[in-house]
Chain A
Amino acid sequence: MGERNKQQVHSKQAYFFVICVCSKSFNLTELYFCNGCQKLNCKHCVTEQIDCYYCPNCLDHVSVAEASQNGNRCKKCYDCPLCFSVLALQQQQSTTEGGTSSLFLYCNFCKWNSFGMDNSKYDTLSILSGGTKGKELSPMQLEANKVLDVLQKEAADIASSKDSRTLTRLKLAQAMRQLFSPTNAGGSGSGGSGSGGGGGSGYSLNSSALGYSSSLANNFIRDERWNKNRSVASPQPSNPLLPSPSSSSSSASSTSSSSSTSNHLLSKMAIKKRINPIGHQEVDQMMQGRVEARQFQPIVSDDVKQDMEEVDALLAIDNANKINGLGQRFANQQQGPLLSNAKQEQLAPQHKQLLTRRSKRCRRCDKLLAKPDINPAKTEFKRQHFAFSYVPRVVVSRAIWLEKDVCNVQIQFTNPLHSYLFICFFKQVKDSDNTLQIYGSKDDNAIPIEMLTETYIGGILDETDDKDNQALQQLKDAEISMHSRFVIDRKDNKVTLGFLVRVSKDDAPTLDNDEIRSRLATPSTPTKKQDLPKYESSVTNVKFTLALSFSSNSSILNNLVVPQPTSPSSTSSLIHILFDIPVQEFDNTKHRPI
């Protein structure tokens, strides 16, 4: 969702953002939660793979081959050249001809129609058959295809090189393991002497004994390929049952490689196979090929005269509405460049652009995060790991000034899970190099100074788990005895907690912390807005960051009695939530800054 529309849907709720691991902030709905690494994934932290192409109008599934053949456009549906809405097919009333009635394209919105267009392109037959007559490519398209080819080739090269880098690393790791494992040490260590015989046992070592997942094993099989044909798109279906491409190549060791490709990593054969000596000639050839591929013909002849003509034409225009807009011209690029003085009649309807369904994978551990249904009309997911249904949802329910620069922010947490969720809040977060750091964003103008350190939220069904009962009981007791001032409301799977936030980052409090504490301890009886004492705010927005870690396992609460946990436990996931509350939303702000 774009920023503007997001504001619309979230209307009043857009005051907080969750920070992804890559330290960019997003709305919770935009994030994914990886179960494997217990961390958040934003759109930059996932790899996407196109599952299917479909037309947004007819919702037809389009195969990859067909999509690429038609330039990712639907064969049947057209966009209006003027207003870009969908064109409808209408039957022409047969008048004078007396023959068969013909079809034409018609825009329901701006009343554009295909009368007077090039008839061979938009007559009944070509519309119904999907515009086969208009197949001949314009020079523009040919050039575009050339560019696309080059880009695809380079993208594939980059992808495969990246692949090979990780593969070498993995291979090295496995080779080391093979070397040090007592069962197989002799075979691999002696440099290929056992390359023929050790095939079967080596494979089982890969998949089961070393605990490699099957996908990883497939990666190893695929590695035989990367060397051979680099220009092939990298995610190819790899089936261990099929002979790998390398076995069919001229390589001498076809028998051993087809049976098991991944084990004899240090064998001489394998090494020999991978090294293809490249001479100067090949390098030069490759370079020349790249340079040639990069040279494109100029599409518009840069004639100065043309500009002058254009000015004249522009001056001669009497009705500005007759000029086609930039968007319209851009949509018609396929016909070749149109000048600004081109008539609207020159615009032709375009085939509708296809949309895609994409599955997302975690960039860190390659775990599948979201897999949509391949049917374009369906909205179900075969796999879904949205942060929205794994991470506690946060909503600011109330904000009150207690002092000129101290406010009480009440935040409601919702547990989306069916089990109990344990939450720890941190004032400081330990860095990787064990230095305590005050976390937060650069434009924070406030810091939370007083809050609850540990709490729990019931699940949706509120089912009790025997295992966690003790921890729960301890938390509940502590809440009643010590922390009751922080917990404002607890209901079903929701808990509202109070946070004391001080505006200004420097350590010069106008009020002593103890005094603030005592203020918070006294129940804020005047709950009505009018009864609260008004305070003038020095800032327009109160911005602060909250760090919390959550887990459905009570083991993160290993310091139940210790009031100040300093570092998050490894089993839980740590998230940062960025708050940005405009002072107008506070119950008792005196002056509303304009």
Chain B
Amino acid sequence: MEIQTTNYDKTDYMETVNGNKVSRKSILCGIMNIRLHGKTIIKPGVIVRGDLANVNIGRLSSVGENTVIRPSYKKFKGSIAYFPLTIGDHVIIKENTVISAASIGSYVYIGKNCVISKRCILKDCCMIADNTIVPPDTVVPPYTCYSGFPGTYKEELVDSFEHYMKDLTTTTYEHFLPNPVIGGTPSSLVTTPTSSSTFIPTSSPAVTK
């Protein structure tokens, strides 16, 4: 079936100039270090630990409910060094997943209930099936699907995966719309950002409340 249009309450989401839709019920720590490149959806319950290191999320990506994005670290002679976390474009991350990879490429699909352990590198066009635990320091090459416990190489992906993900993320974004406004009054509730920078200018919902 066609992807059904999901309507959300306009008051529940912040929308930036670039089309990012960030749930007010998500927790973004250290917003100055979190950068969303536009048209990214962050669902309720998501925790992004920008206070540890920089977090970059590309265009047309979506992060599912209750997912934790936490930059990874490594001990260097007693001190702990955090690595910045980069997530590419057209990435779909499903609900209840923990991400502490070093980098995630573009056109990546991560299923629900997954754990992407420390310092993992997910290249472009790869897929992590549902309920997978990817061990630390794993490299997931392009056009492969990793699944299992621990996540190991299981099968190859189709060659047109990139096109498929492009299509999927675009339709997902297009079908994620606010409830049709009745009377057109509640727009004042949404604080539209004034700054033109790509940072999320509004403060974290925890602070606003």
Interface residues of A (CB under 8 A from B): 1-2, 4-5, 8-9, 12-13, 15, 27, 29-30, 32, 54, 56-59, 83-86, 88, 107-110, 355, 360, 370, 372, 376-379, 381, 384, 386-389, 393, 395-398, 412, 585
Residue-wise, chain B 127-152 has the 8 Å CB interface mask toward A (1 for contact) of: 10110010111111111110100111
Taking the closest CB of chain A, its distance from the CB of B20, in whole angstroms, is 24
Bound-complex Cα distance A28 to B154 (A):
21
Taking the closest CB of chain A, its distance from the CB of B53, in whole angstroms, is 21
Contact assessment for B139 and A57 in the assembled complex, using a CB-CB cutoff below 8 Å: yes
Query: Among A29, A59, A107, A397, which residue has its beta carbon within 8 angstroms of that of B164?
Result: A29
Contact assessment for B157 and A1 in the assembled complex, using a CB-CB cutoff below 8 Å: yes
Starting from the known contacts A108-B135, A355-B141, A397-B2, 8 additional A-B residue pairs (CB-CB under 8 Å) come to A1-B155, A12-B3, A108-B136, A376-B141, A376-B142, A377-B141, A389-B160, A393-B167
In the complex, chain B residues whose CB is within 8 Å of the CB of A15: 1
Contact assessment for A29 and B161 in the assembled complex, using a CB-CB cutoff below 8 Å: yes
Question: A-B contact count, CB below 8 Å?
Answer: 119
In the complex, chain B residues whose CB is within 8 Å of the CB of A387: 160
Known: A379-B125, A384-B159, A412-B2. A109 touches B154 (CB 8 A): no
Contact assessment for B144 and A56 in the assembled complex, using a CB-CB cutoff below 8 Å: yes
Taking the closest CB of chain B, its distance from the CB of A67, in whole angstroms, is 16
Bound-complex Cα distance A57 to B151 (A):
13
In the complex, chain B residues whose CB is within 8 Å of the CB of A83: 135, 150
Query: Among A57, A370, A379, which residue has its beta carbon within 8 angstroms of that of B124?
Result: A379
- Tally B residues with Cβ within 8 Å of A: 44
Q: Is B158 an interface residue (CB 8 A)?
A: yes
Contact assessment for A30 and B1 in the assembled complex, using a CB-CB cutoff below 8 Å: no
Query: Among A2, A109, A379, A393, which residue has its beta carbon within 8 angstroms of that of B135?
Result: A109
Q: Is B64 an interface residue (CB 8 A)?
A: no
Interface residues of B (CB under 8 A from A): 1-4, 107, 109, 111, 117, 123-125, 127, 129-130, 133, 135-145, 147, 150-164, 167-168
5 A/B residue pairs, CB under 8 Å, sorted by A: A4-B129, A9-B109, A56-B144, A84-B152, A110-B150
Closest chain B residue to A386, Cβ basis: B160
In the complex, chain B residues whose CB is within 8 Å of the CB of A396: 1-2
Closest chain B residue to A6, Cβ basis: B158
Bound-complex Cα distance A360 to B124 (A):
21
Taking the closest CB of chain B, its distance from the CB of A10, in whole angstroms, is 9
Contact assessment for B107 and A379 in the assembled complex, using a CB-CB cutoff below 8 Å: yes
In the complex, chain A residues whose CB is within 8 Å of the CB of B138: 57, 85-86
In the complex, chain A residues whose CB is within 8 Å of the CB of B167: 388, 393
Bound-complex Cα distance A85 to B150 (A):
7
Closest chain A residue to B165, Cβ basis: A9
Taking the closest CB of chain A, its distance from the CB of B46, in whole angstroms, is 20
Known: A1-B158, A2-B154. A86 touches B142 (CB 8 A): no
Contact assessment for A109 and B2 in the assembled complex, using a CB-CB cutoff below 8 Å: no
Taking the closest CB of chain A, its distance from the CB of B64, in whole angstroms, is 13
Bound-complex Cα distance A378 to B124 (A):
8
Closest chain A residue to B129, Cβ basis: A5
Contact assessment for A108 and B152 in the assembled complex, using a CB-CB cutoff below 8 Å: no
Closest chain B residue to A410, Cβ basis: B2
In the complex, chain B residues whose CB is within 8 Å of the CB of A377: 123, 141-142
In the complex, chain A residues whose CB is within 8 Å of the CB of B129: 4-5, 8
Query: Among B136, B145, B168, which residue has its beta carbon within 8 angstroms of that of A1?
Result: B145
Taking the closest CB of chain A, its distance from the CB of B62, in whole angstroms, is 14
Contact assessment for A86 and B159 in the assembled complex, using a CB-CB cutoff below 8 Å: no
Taking the closest CB of chain A, its distance from the CB of B150, in whole angstroms, is 4
Bound-complex Cα distance A479 to B3 (A):
27
Closest chain A residue to B125, Cβ basis: A379
Closest chain A residue to B134, Cβ basis: A85
Query: Among B3, B123, B137, B141, which residue has its beta carbon within 8 angstroms of that of A88?
Result: B137
Bound-complex Cα distance A13 to B129 (A):
17
Bound-complex Cα distance A88 to B139 (A):
12
Contact assessment for A5 and B145 in the assembled complex, using a CB-CB cutoff below 8 Å: yes
In the complex, chain A residues whose CB is within 8 Å of the CB of B168: 9
Bound-complex Cα distance A86 to B117 (A):
13
Contact assessment for B3 and A13 in the assembled complex, using a CB-CB cutoff below 8 Å: yes
Bound-complex Cα distance A131 to B127 (A):
32
Contact assessment for A85 and B160 in the assembled complex, using a CB-CB cutoff below 8 Å: no
Query: Among B117, B141, B164, which residue has its beta carbon within 8 angstroms of that of A388?
Result: B164
Closest chain B residue to A399, Cβ basis: B1
Query: Among B111, B133, B140, B162, which residue has its beta carbon within 8 angstroms of that of A379?
Result: B162
In the complex, chain A residues whose CB is within 8 Å of the CB of B117: 108
Closest chain A residue to B162, Cβ basis: A379
Contact assessment for A370 and B159 in the assembled complex, using a CB-CB cutoff below 8 Å: yes
Taking the closest CB of chain A, its distance from the CB of B16, in whole angstroms, is 25
Taking the closest CB of chain A, its distance from the CB of B169, in whole angstroms, is 12
Contact assessment for A56 and B139 in the assembled complex, using a CB-CB cutoff below 8 Å: yes
Known: A386-B160, A386-B163. A378 touches B142 (CB 8 A): yes
Query: Among A9, A370, A397, which residue has its beta carbon within 8 angstroms of that of B127?
Result: A9
Bound-complex Cα distance A4 to B127 (A):
13
Contact assessment for A54 and B141 in the assembled complex, using a CB-CB cutoff below 8 Å: yes
Closest chain B residue to A57, Cβ basis: B139
Bound-complex Cα distance A355 to B141 (A):
10
Bound-complex Cα distance A32 to B159 (A):
9
Closest chain B residue to A5, Cβ basis: B129
Contact assessment for B127 and A12 in the assembled complex, using a CB-CB cutoff below 8 Å: no
Interface-centre pick from A5, A372, A381, A412 (highest chain B CB count, 10 A): A5
Bound-complex Cα distance A112 to B178 (A):
51
Query: Among B1, B150, B152, which residue has its beta carbon within 8 angstroms of that of A397?
Result: B1
In the complex, chain A residues whose CB is within 8 Å of the CB of B1: 12-13, 15, 395-397, 585
Contact assessment for A86 and B137 in the assembled complex, using a CB-CB cutoff below 8 Å: yes
In the complex, chain B residues whose CB is within 8 Å of the CB of A389: 160, 163
